[in-house]
Amino acid sequence: MKIITGGAGFIGSAICWRLNELGYKDILIVDSDVEGTKKNNLAGLHYTDYMDKITFLKELTGDTFHKSVETIYHMGACTSTTEDDMDYLIKNNFEYSKHLAEWCLKHKVRYIYASSAATYGDGELGFDDDEKLIPKLQPLNKYGLSKQMFDMWVLEHGYQNKMVGVKYFNVFGPNENHKGDMRSRVNIAHKQILDTGKMKLFKSLNADYKDGEQKRDFVYVKDAVEMTLFFDNNGKDKNGIYNIGSGEANTWNSLAYSLFKAMGKEPVIEYINMPDNLVNQYQYYSKANLSKIRNAGYVNSITSFEDSVKDYVQNYLSLNKYLSVE
Q: What is the pLDDT of residues 90-103, one digit of tens each?
A: 988 999 999 999 99
Q: What pTM does this model have?
A: 0.96
pLDDT of residue 67: 73
| φ, ψ for residue 180, nearest 5 deg | 60, -130
| φ, ψ for residue 81, nearest 5 deg | -75, -10
Residues known to be catalytic: 143, 179
Distant-in-sequence, close-in-space partners of 286: CB < 8 Å, separation ≥ 6: 117, 120, 123, 127, 169, 170, 215, 216, 217, 245, 249
* Any domain includes 168: yes
pLDDT tens digits, one per residue of 226-240:
999 999 999 999 999
pLDDT tens digits, one per residue of 268-292:
999 999 999 888 889 999 999 999 9
Q: How, if at all, do strands 218-220 and 269-272 pair? A: unpaired
* Any domain includes 234: yes
pLDDT tens digits, one per residue of 140-174:
999 999 999 999 999 999 999 999 999 999 999 99
Angstrom CA distances, 263 to 190, 212, 258, 314, stand at: 8, 20, 9, 7
* Any domain includes 264: no
- Residue 53, CA atoms < 13 Å, CB-side half-sphere: 22
Q: How, if at all, do strands 215-216 and 250-251 pair? A: antiparallel
* Any domain includes 91: yes
CA distance 140 to 142: 7
Three-state SS across 79-148? CCCCCCCHHHHHHHHHHHHHHHHHHHHHHCCEEEEEEEHHHHCCCCCCCCCCCCCHHHCCCCCHHHHHHH
User: How many domains does one find in the chain?
Assistant: 1
In this predicted structure, the answer to whether residue 64 has a pLDDT above a threshold of 90 is: no
Identify each DSSP E strand in 252-323 by its residue range: 269-272
Mean pLDDT of the chain: 95
- Percentage of the chain lying above the pLDDT 90 cut: 87
pLDDT of residue 56: 92
Domain of residue 168 covers 2-173+217-246+287-302
Cβ–Cβ under 8 Å, residues 17 and 10: no
pLDDT of residue 33: 80
Three-state SS across 142-206? HHHHHHHHHHHHHHHCCHHHCCEEEEECEEECCCCHHHHHHCCHHHHHHHHHHHHCCEEEECCCC
42 DSSP assignment: H
pLDDT of residue 60: 86
Amino acid at 256: A
pLDDT tens digits, one per residue of 181-239:
899 999 999 999 999 999 999 999 999 999 999 999 999 999 999 999 999 999 999 99
* Any domain includes 27: yes
pLDDT of residue 256: 98
pLDDT of residue 78: 81
* Any domain includes 189: no
* Any domain includes 9: yes
* Any domain includes 265: no
pLDDT of residue 66: 63
pLDDT tens digits, one per residue of 6-22:
999 999 999 999 999 99
CATH number of the domain residue 75 falls in? 3.40.50.720
Cα torsion through 201, 207, 208, 209, rounded to 10: 10
